[in-house]
Homo-oligomer: A and B are copies of this chain.
Amino acid sequence: MSLYPAALENLIRQLSRLPGIGPKTAERLALHLLRAPEEQCQALAAGITQMKTTIGLCSRCGGLSDQSLCRICRNPSRDHGVLCVVEQPADMVALEKSDAFKGCYHILHGALSPMDGVGPDQIRLKELFLRVGQEGVTEVVLATGTSLEGEATAAYIAEQLKDLDIKLTRIASGVPVGGDLKFIDQVTLKRAMETRHAF
């Protein structure tokens, strides 16, 4: 039963396709946009279209970029000999925000997951091994997730690169800073204990 005019019902339907936006929220957002200034709606619509047309992947690292090479790959002051391998562009952004890494990235756009049909050819692993061979890489930091798939992907990469003369590291997993031990799950605590280091 369509109670709003067709164009509004259509917008509600389009908005409710977004993740985490149910029909009620979509209705609220659509009614908000209807009342919002023309410029704001135009800016949002144009923003969506523009984002889709201008953003592609960096030809080297696979990060999001509006140019052939992304800002980090173009930056001569970054250490191009250290590659940090992550699953998604958002992971790279999270690491950049932490300001703890001055090397370059390699974004896989996924993690190995045979159950979902994601094998080595479905993610950007070939490109990683090519870069390691060509770019004079001295260290590969495995920063895939700590999920089963992330761990499997890290293990796979480590196995493939083990015979090369490069340093292979894995980001630490353990108790989050400020985390209360009694609220941390057992697997994390076990890992934190196993990978304990000299104080």
Contact = CB atoms under 8 A, between A and B. Distances in A.
Interface of A: 1, 3-8, 10-11, 14-15, 17-21, 25, 27-34, 38, 40-52, 54-55, 64-66, 70, 89-90, 93, 96-97
Contacts of A4: 64, 89, 93
Contacts of A27: 90
Q: A-B pairs with the 8 shortest C-beta distances?
A: A45-B45, A11-B47, A5-B66, A45-B48, A14-B47, A7-B51, A14-B44, A7-B54
Given A4-B64, A54-B5, A65-B5, A29 B34 contact: no
Copies per assembly: 2
Contact of A45 (B19, B38, B40, B46): B46
